[in-house]
């Protein structure tokens, strides 16, 4: 399972520089507003040293990491929902993503124009969030109008329930609150998700800072957040892996911005990783926290879920430390689990199923 992240921000905050660094895919990052018009899309392999070690243990012929798709869209400006700048039509490009990263500028550089003429990340976040809300409000209002015409003389319980939900969403958005703040029961969440509302998605705030401020905490930061220096990430992207490690050690930094962003994205989306490994292939699979063994098997192939019998499971580290399956089995570290077993992060699995 791969997942997708939409990158949004005001013009000239370092969005496209960050995208280039993360994906190592060159995009236009010139110093003027609306440089990015068509969305830039890049797919990134998720670095995972656990998978590296499993592949080495088995001397696997094939190595398949999980992936993230990043979508970088044009810079938003105040009034985008009313047609300012390029308007908000380009927001449609990120309606299908799993989560949104808002990049805000928190560094000074007189050579790079800020669209508002001042560095104020808190104000920038307010602008961005309002535009997302207004875009969602347009979607909800249009859908509500259509449904109200159908519901005038209808007593259909489902339709009336949908009207109630849309009116609640409209009221919430008109109060300049995110759609996610509108509380419904579990069975109605699927209906809301069908509209792909931007403010119903998890949002991570990325403060683009100077190299000296990467490890500093930001007072009154919007949560959840992390700090990244897009300029530094851009430099790291052009280096060899050994050079990157040496440079990070000099700066007293343990992780690259990409690593931090991936970890935060997993937390944001409540995801975990399990592995299948052997001489033919070492493969990382991403699933939702709380998934049971048959659901995990279904990520590999639907037949695996439908015909699930049992799963043989061992923690990846136990497998590495013992030196292989035979040794792990000898020490009683490989368990057999059934249909109700809830998967945990870092497990290596062999599924047995009926064909």
Q: Which of 200, 139, 138, 192 is nearest to 162 (CA)?
A: 192
| 131-142: pLDDT as tens digits | 899 989 999 999
pLDDT value, residue 80: 52
Q: Are 88 and 81 in contact (CB under 8 A)?
A: yes
pLDDT class for 204, splitting at 50, 70, 90? very high
Question: How many C-beta neighbours within 10 Å does residue 92 have?
Answer: 14
| 143-154: pLDDT as tens digits | 999 898 876 666
The residue among 111 and 337 whose pLDDT is bigger is: 337
pLDDT class for 37, splitting at 50, 70, 90? very low
- Distance spanning both ends of the chain, measured CA to CA: 23
Structure tokens at 93: 């490009």
pLDDT value, residue 148: 86
The architecture of the domain spanning 290-353 is: Roll (3.10)
Q: Are 204 and 102 in contact (CB under 8 A)?
A: yes
pLDDT class for 277, splitting at 50, 70, 90? very high
pLDDT value, residue 110: 60
- Put residue 201 in one of left, alpha, beta given phi > 0 → left and psi -120 to 50 → alpha: beta
CA distance 94 to 316: 35
Q: What percent of the chain has pLDDT over 90?
A: 50
CA distance 115 to 135: 21
Q: What strand order describes the sheet that includes 335-337?
A: 62-64, 281-288, 271-277, 347-353, 308-315, 335-337
Asked if omega into 224 is within 30° of 0 (cis), the reply is yes
Structure tokens at 305: 């879920």
């Amino acid at each position: 399972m791969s997942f997708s992240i939409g990158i949004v921000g005001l013009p000239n905050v370092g969005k496209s520089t960050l995208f280039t660094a993360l994906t190592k895919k060159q995009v236009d990052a010139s110093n003027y507003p609306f440089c990015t018009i068509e969305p830039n899309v890049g797919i990134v392999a998720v670095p995972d040293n656990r998978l590296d070690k499993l592949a080495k243990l088995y001397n696997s012929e094939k190595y398949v990491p999980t992936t993230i798709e990043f979508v970088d869209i044009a810079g938003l400006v105040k009034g985008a929902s009313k047609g300012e700048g390029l308007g908000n039509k380009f927001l449609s490009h990120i309606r299908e993503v799993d989560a949104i990263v808002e990049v805000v500028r928190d560094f000074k550089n007189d050579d790079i124009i800020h669209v508002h003429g001042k560095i104020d990340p808190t104000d920038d976040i307010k602008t961005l969030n309002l535009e997302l809300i207004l875009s969602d409000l347009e979607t909800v209002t249009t859908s509500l109008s259509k449904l109200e015409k159908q519901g005038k003389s209808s007593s259909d319980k489902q339709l009336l329930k949908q009207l109630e939900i849309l009116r609640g969403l409209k009221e919430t958005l008109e109060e300049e609150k995110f759609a996610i703040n509108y509380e419904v029961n579990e069975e109605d969440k699927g209906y809301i998700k069908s509209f792909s509302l931007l403010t119903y998605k998890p949002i991570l705030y990325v403060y683009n800072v100077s190299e000296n401020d990467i490890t500093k905490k930001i007072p009154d930061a919007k949560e959840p957040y992390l700090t990244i220096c897009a300029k530094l990430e851009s430099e790291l992207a052009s280096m060899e892996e050994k050079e990157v490690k040496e440079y990070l050690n000099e700066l007293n930094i343990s992780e690259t911005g990409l690593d931090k962003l991936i970890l935060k994205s997993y937390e944001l989306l409540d995801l975990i990783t399990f592995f299948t490994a052997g001489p033919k292939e070492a493969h990382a699979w991403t699933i939702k926290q709380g998934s049971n063994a048959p659901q995990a098997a279904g990520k590999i192939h639907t037949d695996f879920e439908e015909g699930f019998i049992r799963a043989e499971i061992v923690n990846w580290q136990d497998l590495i430390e013992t030196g292989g399956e035979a040794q792990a089995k000898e020490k009683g570290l490989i368990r057999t689990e059934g249909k109700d077993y809830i998967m945990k992060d870092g497990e290596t699995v062999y599924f047995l199923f009926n064909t």
